[in-house]
Homo-oligomer: A and B are copies of this chain.
Amino acid sequence: MQSAKVKVAIVGATGYTGQELVRLLLRHPQVEVNAVTSRSYVGKKLSDVFPSLRNNTALVCTDTELAALAKNNDFVFLALPHGEAAGSVTKDVLNDCKIIDLGADFRLESAAEYKQWYHLEHANPALIKDAVYGLCELNRDAIAGARLIANPGCYATCSILALAPVLKDALIVPESIVIDAKSGVSGAGRGLTLGSHFNECNETIKAYALASHRHTPEIEQVLSHHSGGTIKLSFTPHLMPMNRGILVTAYATLQDGVDCAKVQAAYLALYAHAQFVRVYDAEADAALPETRWVKGSNYCDIGFRIDQRCNRIIVVAALDNLLKGAAGQAIQNMNIMSGFDESTALEELPIFP
């Protein structure tokens, strides 16, 4: 029945993440998209901004404030630059609605660390402890009861899922971890920067933010909790010419006596009930995750190999940065918080090619 639908609003609906939320939520049978806001397109029909949506929605972009959206909706999704959610989410807002923040403001548990990496004083440090880190596979129970979700970063989701099992079971040497990540350009957002100009990122690849990317402390924080220790690791992101997708290649030295079977068991155990994580076989001739096998879906695929000569594990993980890396996981969180089937509106198979 119509009355059972949850009402949602999307703040920042004309970025790539916001658009992806709209695209998926318009097909969610238990959701009504009630409002979309945008800074640049106020008064414009969303289907004029994204002709892909023609004939499917009459939504018009507004600049409604969060406080008003909160009163009229069950959920508000925030797809904003960092710093903005912290300034506008309040106790009152959280009394009125549940918030799923796709930005970075409530991911780090320490306001000091937030300042160190984001070069910004946190506007609302008291609220941080109310936020639940929305990595569904590791945090499902807390998510179910949360009112404020810090939806994980795209690189962070992929990196954490790739390494959590071997850290939980203490199979690797923590200080040996190196994460080399590769992302498509949509991860950099829809804003106009020289770095996202077609001719500046087509037919090339670059490393960036060496030893300084903001997803680093987020990955370390979650993996530290998971391992019971203090993880410090090197994380290097790369920008490469494709629309969607993140591939993480993670390296770590194995603890003594760890073999392939033990590692495989750790992955299978942790993700036994994770319908969106697919663990690959570890034989030499088995397939490895590639971004094309997850594109357009909410899957995170994980595989690994043991480098016997160097006693090192190499983990490869792939996801679609706009789905499991952002909007898909946000909806997965909403489903868990609402008691819906976790995969509702996320059933689509990866689109290939």
Contact = CB atoms under 8 A, between A and B. Distances in A.
A203 interface: yes
A26 interface: yes
Interface residues of A, number: 87
A204 B148 CA distance: 34
27 contacts: A27-B348, A50-B293, A51-B290, A52-B297, A54-B278, A178-B312, A182-B238, A184-B203, A185-B202, A196-B197, A198-B198, A198-B241, A203-B242, A203-B292, A204-B295, A205-B240, A206-B247, A211-B308, A212-B284, A233-B310, A234-B307, A236-B249, A236-B314, A240-B240, A251-B251, A296-B296, A351-B351
Interface in A166-219: 175-176, 178, 180, 182, 184-186, 190, 192-194, 196-208, 210-212
B199 A196 contact: yes
A155 B265 CA distance: 34
A54 to B, nearest CB: 5
Please list the 4 inter-chain residue pairs (A to B) with the smallest Cβ-Cβ separation, ordered nearest first: A204-B292, A199-B353, A211-B307, A52-B350
Interface string A284-328: 100111111111110001000111111010101000000000000
A19 interface: yes
A55 interface: yes
A203 B307 contact: no
Contacts of A249: 180, 207, 236, 238
A307 B213 CA distance: 11
Nearest to A55: B278
Interface in A142-168: none
A178 B211 contact: no
A94 to B, nearest CB: 31
Interface of A: 16, 19, 23, 26-27, 48, 50-56, 175-176, 178, 180, 182, 184-186, 190, 192-194, 196-208, 210-212, 232-234, 236, 238, 240-245, 247, 249, 251, 275, 278, 280, 284, 287-297, 301, 305-310, 312, 314, 316, 347-353
A291 B245 CA distance: 20
Contact of A291 (B53, B193, B205, B236): B205
Contact of A352 (B52, B305, B306): B52
Nearest to A198: B185
Contact of A27 (B180, B241, B244, B347): B347
A19 B293 CA distance: 13
A306 B236 CA distance: 12
Given A194-B192, A290-B204, A314-B210, A23 B185 contact: no
B353 A243 contact: yes
